[in-house]
Structure 1
Amino acid sequence: MYSRVVGTGSVLPGDPVTNDDLVARGIDTSDSWIIERTGIRSRHLAPAGVTSSVLGAEAARRALEAAGRTAADVDLIIVATSTPDKVFPSTACLIQAELGVSGFPAFDVQAVCSGFVYALTIADKFIRSGSNRRALVIGAEVFSRIIDWEDRRTCVLFGDGAGAVLLEASETPGLLATALHADGSLHEILEVPGNIRDGHVEGSPFIHMDGAAVFKVAVRVLGDIAHEVLEQAGMTAEQLDWLIPHQANIRILQATAKRLHLPFEKVIVTVDRHGNTSAASVPLALDAAVRDGRVRPGQSVMLQGVGGGFTWGAALLRL
C-alpha cells in the first residue's frame, strides 16, 4: 500500500500587504531593501478572529473539493502549526469540529517551517501501515501574531495563510521517499523564547532570528536532504520536474537550486506573494502550482522544509 496526493487547497487572508504598505505604517524599511534581500513583495495578515484553525479548515475544504471527496471520507487529520489557536485542544481537533466530523485521530505537529513535510511523512506512514486511508495534511499559520513590529529585520519577512493536501491510499506509488532531521543544539538561531507561566508571558513572545546563521544552515541542509531522498528513490536531480522548497527567502531558493545543479526555472517560487508563512508555505506553493497548471499529474516534485528547532525535511512525490 502506498499514499498519493489527490487534492490540494490553500487560502490567504485578506488583501495583500505590500512593502510600501509597511513603510506607510511607520516601519523603517523600503520596498527595494526588502526585495533585494528577500524577494518578498507582499504578504497577507489575518484580521482579528481569523485563526490558524479558520484558515486550515478552509484550505482543507478546498483540497477535499479538488479531490472530489467530502470530510466524511477522511479518517485522519494532521496539522502542522507553530501558531495554534489555543494551548489546547489541538488546532487539528478544532478543524475536525469545523468540518463536522469526529471519531478518528486528529493532532498537531510542531516542527515550525518544516512542519508540513513532517506531517506529510507521518501521514504517509499511517496510510502505509493500513490503519488509515485518507488523511488531511494541513499547514496553517498566523505568524503576524508573534512578530515584533518594531524589529524590521523580522517583521517584513512573515505572513499568514494555510495550505492542505488530501493524501489517499493507493496501489500506485505517490510519495516515493521522505527524510526528516533535527539538530536541537541550533535552537537559538531561530526561536520564540517566551512561554506562559502563572498567567503571564515569561521571556519574549516574539520571533528571534540570527538571519546569517539560518541562511548558512538552511542552504547546507536543504542541499544534503535533497540528495538523500533522491538516492532513496533511485533518481537524480535531472529527473526532477519541480522543486518546491520552503518559501523563506529567494536567496535560499537560488542557492539550493545551484547546489543541485537544477535550473531555477524548475523551482516553484511564491515567496514574493505571501512571504514566509512557515508550515503553510510549502502546501501554499504546491497548490498555486497545481492550480496554474505548472505541476501536472505524473510529474515528480520534491517538497522541502527547514526551520526552527533546528528541523529540516524533504518529501519526493509523483503527482
Structure 2
Amino acid sequence: MKDVYITRISKFLPNNPISNDEMEGILGQINGKPSRAKRVVLRNNGIKQRYYAINSQGKITHSNAELTQEAIAKLFDDSFTENSMELLCCGTSSPDQLLPSHAAMVHGLLANKNMEINSAAGICCAGMSSLKFGFLSVKSGNSNNAVCTGSERSSTRIQANMFNEEAVSLSSLEEQPIVAFKKEFLRWMLSDGAGAMLLENKKNETGISLKIDWMEAYSYAHELETCMYSGGEKLDDGSIKPWTEYNSKQWLEESIFSVKQDVKILEKHIIDKGVESLELVLKKHDKDSADIDYFLPHLSSNFFAEKLKNKIKERGLQIPESSWFTNLDRVGNVGSASIYLMLEELMYSGRLKKGDKIMLSVPESGRFSYAYAHLTVH
C-alpha cells in the first residue's frame, strides 16, 4: 500500500460575494412578495456572504461542470499539467443533468486525454466519497495521482421562478400562496462553488503536504427516515414518492424538484448521530480526541455549532475548542464543496506546522450519513 498525500488544493467561487441584503434581489421574490422566513433563517445560520453562479442581472454565468473545471484548472502548472492526471473523481448533489454523469461532463470540459473517471452522488458527503475513491485508488497503486472535487450550483434551484407555479396553484385553490417552510428554508442556506484536491503517492518536495491517514463513513439510513431530498415528495408514512410517479404538471405545481428539508427531524438527529459516529471512528482508530490540532466540521448553519460543541463535551470527548476551524460565514454552505473550501483556506493560511493532526468531519442530513478523514501535516 502506498502513502497518499494531498499536495495541492484549489477553489473557485463565482462572481462577487453576495451579502444577506442582496440575496432576494438576485434569487427573486416568490409570488412577488418578500420572504417571511429569510430573516429568521439568516439570523440562525450566521452566514454573512455567499457566492452564486448568477450575476446581478439574474443571468446564469457558470454550470456546475464549469465551476468544477475552473477549480481543477488552478491545480495545474508546469510540473503537473492536465495531461498528468490519471484519475478524476467528482462529487456533487447538484449535477447539471440526470445523465451523463457529472465527472463525464467535467472531463469533457478539461478536454485533456483518455482517463478513468468516477462520479459520487449524495449530498454533502458526496465530496468526501469522491475524495475516498481517489484516496483508495492511489493507496492501492491503481493510480499514481487523482484529482478529487466537490462542487455545487444550488442557486438555480432556489430562484423564485422555480416556485412561482406552485404559488399560483395555491392561489387558485384559495389557499395562502406561501411555499412550505421545508422548501423555502434552504433558499437562504445554500450557495455555489467548487474545490479540488490533488492526491499523489509522494509528498511535495517543498512546502507542506497533508498525508491522509485514514477515511471512514457511516450511514444511519437503516434506522432513520429521509430528511433532505429533491426530485420527490415525502409521504405521511415517511417514504419518498419519486418524481417519476408524478405527471409533468405536478412537477411544477408542487415544486417536486425543489430541495426540501424536514427541519424537525434534522434537529432531532443530526447532532446525536454525528457525535455517535465520531465516537465510533475515534475508537476504531484508537485516536485520542485531545490530540486533534485542527477540527474542521462542515456546518450547514452556525445554529448547530454550540449544540455540537456541547454534545461533544457531554460525551466526554476532549476536542479543544481552539482547534475548531470553519469559514461558513465567509463562503456560505456549499454542500459537498464546503470541506474542500475549509481545508484549502487552512492549508494556505500559514498556520500549519509539520506533525499537526487534522480531522475532517462532514455530516449529511439526506438520510443521516457522516464522513471523516484524519490528516497529518508533512
Q: Same fold (TM over 0.5)?
A: yes
2:186 is aligned to 154
Identity across matched positions, percent: 21
Asked if 1:193 is matched to 2:231, the reply is: yes
Q: Which moved more, 1:187-196 or 1:71-80?
A: 187-196
Q: Deviations over 1:161-180 (max 9, x none)?
A: 11111111148992112211
Displacement of 1:297 after TM fit?
4.5
Asked if 1:43 is matched to 2:50, the reply is: yes
Asked if 1:97 is matched to 2:108, the reply is: yes
Which of 102, 124, 127 does residue 116 from structure 1 map onto? Answer: 127
1:228 is aligned to 280
Inter-CA distance 298–60: structure 2 relative to 1 (3 Å threshold): farther
2:237 is aligned to none
Displacement of 1:157 after TM fit?
0.6
Q: Which moved more, 1:290-299 or 1:116-125?
A: 290-299
Secondary structure of 1:262's counterpart equals coil
Structure 2 counterpart of 1:139, which letter? G
Asked if 1:254 is matched to 2:306, the reply is: yes
Which of 369, 372, 378 does residue 311 from structure 1 map onto? Answer: 369
Take 1:126 and 1:80, find their aligned partners in 2: how far apart are those partners? Answer: 16
Inter-CA distance 269–131: structure 2 relative to 1 (3 Å threshold): same
Structure 1 counterpart of 2:50, which letter? R
Which of 188, 209, 214 does residue 177 from structure 1 map onto? Answer: 214
Take 2:352 and 2:41, find their aligned partners in 1: how far apart are those partners? Answer: 29
Dislocated runs of 4+, deviation >6 Å: none
2:18 is aligned to 17
2:345 is aligned to 288
Displacement of 1:244 after TM fit?
1.2
Inter-CA distance 248–296: structure 2 relative to 1 (3 Å threshold): farther
Displacement of 1:199 after TM fit?
9.6
Does the 8 Å CA contact 1:56/1:138 hold for their aligned counterparts?
yes
Inter-CA distance 36–140: structure 2 relative to 1 (3 Å threshold): same
Asked if 1:245 is matched to 2:297, the reply is: yes
Secondary structure of 2:338's counterpart equals helix
1:106 is aligned to 117
Does the 8 Å CA contact 2:89/2:130 hold for their aligned counterparts?
yes
Secondary structure of 1:188's counterpart equals coil
Structure 1 counterpart of 2:358, which letter? V
Q: Which moved more, 1:162-171 or 1:47-56?
A: 162-171
Q: Deviations over 1:183-216 (max 9, x none)?
A: 3354531111333689947461111101232233
1:63 is aligned to 75
Displacement of 1:148 after TM fit?
6.2
Structure 1 counterpart of 2:229, which letter? E
Take 1:216 and 1:68, find their aligned partners in 2: how far apart are those partners? Answer: 49
Take 2:70 and 2:62, find their aligned partners in 1: how far apart are those partners? Answer: 11
Inter-CA distance 23–11: structure 2 relative to 1 (3 Å threshold): same
Does the 8 Å CA contact 2:298/2:326 hold for their aligned counterparts?
no
Does the 8 Å CA contact 2:214/2:374 hold for their aligned counterparts?
yes
Cα RMSD between the aligned structures? 2.7
Highest CA radius of gyration, 1 or 2? 2
Secondary structure of 1:113's counterpart equals coil
Alignment of structure 1 residues 210-229 onto 2, 5 Å: 210-229=262-281
Asked if 1:277 is matched to 2:289, the reply is: no
Secondary structure of 1:219's counterpart equals helix
Q: Taking structure 1 as the reference length, what is the TM-score of the superposition?
A: 0.89
Q: Taking structure 2 as the reference length, what is the TM-score of the superposition?
A: 0.76
- Aligned residue-pair number: 318
Q: Deviations over 1:144-170 (max 9, x none)?
A: 122264554221111011111111114
1:126 is aligned to 137
Residue ranges of structure 1 left out of the alignment (5+ in a row):
none
